[in-house]
Amino acid sequence: MDGIKNLLDLVKIHYKNEIDENNSNGINGSCIVCGNFVNDGFKAKLKPTFTSGEFLQNGDCICPTCNFVMNNPIFRRKNWIINEKEFRTLKNTEIIQFLVNPLDPPFAFYLTRTYKKHGWLLLVNRINFSRKMYFLAMDYRLLFVDKDKIKRFNEKVTYLLEKGISKSSLLSGKLKLHEFRNLENKAKEIMKFLERVAGQVEWELAILYTYKKKKR
Ligand SMILES: [Zn+2]
């Protein structure tokens, strides 16, 4: 764990051979992404379509590691989790198990619904040293979550999906008449519960990444 200070330190472990340190513009200065001072920086030329400027800092260049991440689509087109041992891309159906049970720290966790934003920029200085409460980014939202809460909510969502409640009703907290009926004598209790959890980020994540079990 020694020396792991930010996301780029974790990336370096897995992409050592792919990070191009030889063909840079040789700029001396600080990196606009991670802030590290380097003497092999690339010119920071960002495309006009680049919309993540607010997550960058003042600086002179882009260091080879940040340049690599910026230009490698896997970091914006996939959900992923990274620690010293592995860099894992995740299918939507796999995400819940890692939300409830993340990798050993230090780790960083990224989710995307757009598959195109440079949301990893939010994680540069947000690697986690705890598995219980941790940061993750979902596109340009930085979220701080409690894994035990996600676990409890996941169980609740599974139950409610089985009862025929739709994900959109769970998100809004407003049940349709037939859903209310499906819940029979539990309906009032569930309504109260939904009022309480609506708007909590752990509840949102549990809904987005819990899937109804396929019927055989
Ligand atoms: Zn950098």
pLDDT in tens, 60-91: 999 999 999 999 999 999 999 999 999 999 99
pLDDT score for 47: 73
**Is 120 among the domain residues?**
yes
Residues 97 and 156 in one domain: no
Q: How far is the CA of 134 from the centre of ligand 1 (A)?
A: 23
Q: How far is the CA of 114 from the centre of ligand 1 (A)?
A: 24
Q: pLDDT (tens digit, 9 = 90+) per residue, 130-176? A: 999 999 999 999 999 999 999 999 999 999 999 999 999 999 999 99
pLDDT score for 53: 79
State which of 88, 107, 139 marks the end of a domain.
139
pLDDT score for 1: 54
Q: How far is the CA of 1 from the centre of ligand 1 (A)?
A: 20
CB 22 within 8 A of CB 41: no
Q: How far is the CA of 104 from the centre of ligand 1 (A)?
A: 24
> Is residue 216 predicted with pLDDT exceeding 80?
no
Q: pLDDT (tens digit, 9 = 90+) per residue, 115-140? A: 999 999 999 999 999 999 999 999 99
Residues 62 and 131 in one domain: yes
Q: How far is the CA of 216 from the centre of ligand 1 (A)?
A: 49
pLDDT score for 54: 83
pLDDT score for 2: 66
Number of folded domains in the chain?
2
Q: How far apart are CA 195 and CA 182, in angstroms?
A: 18
Q: How far apart are CA 112 and CA 132, in angstroms?
A: 22
**Is 2 among the domain residues?**
no
> Is residue 25 predicted with pLDDT exceeding 70?
yes
Sign, Cα dihedral of 120, 122, 123, 125: positive
**Is 1 among the domain residues?**
no
**Is 87 among the domain residues?**
yes
Q: How far is the CA of 95 from the centre of ligand 1 (A)?
A: 28
State which of 107, 139, 171 marks the end of a domain.
139
In single-letter form, the type of residue at position 57 comes to: Q
Q: How far is the CA of 201 from the centre of ligand 1 (A)?
A: 30
Q: How far is the CA of 73 from the centre of ligand 1 (A)?
A: 17
Residues 117 and 28 in one domain: yes
CB 56 within 8 A of CB 33: yes
Q: How far is the CA of 29 from the centre of ligand 1 (A)?
A: 10
Q: What range does the domain containing 154 cover?
A: 148-209
Q: How far apart are CA 144 and CA 140, in angstroms?
A: 13
Find the helix or strand (DSSP H, E) in which 98 lies. helix 95-100
In three-state secondary structure terms, 190 is: helix
Find the helix or strand (DSSP H, E) in which 110 lies. strand 108-111
**Is 47 among the domain residues?**
yes
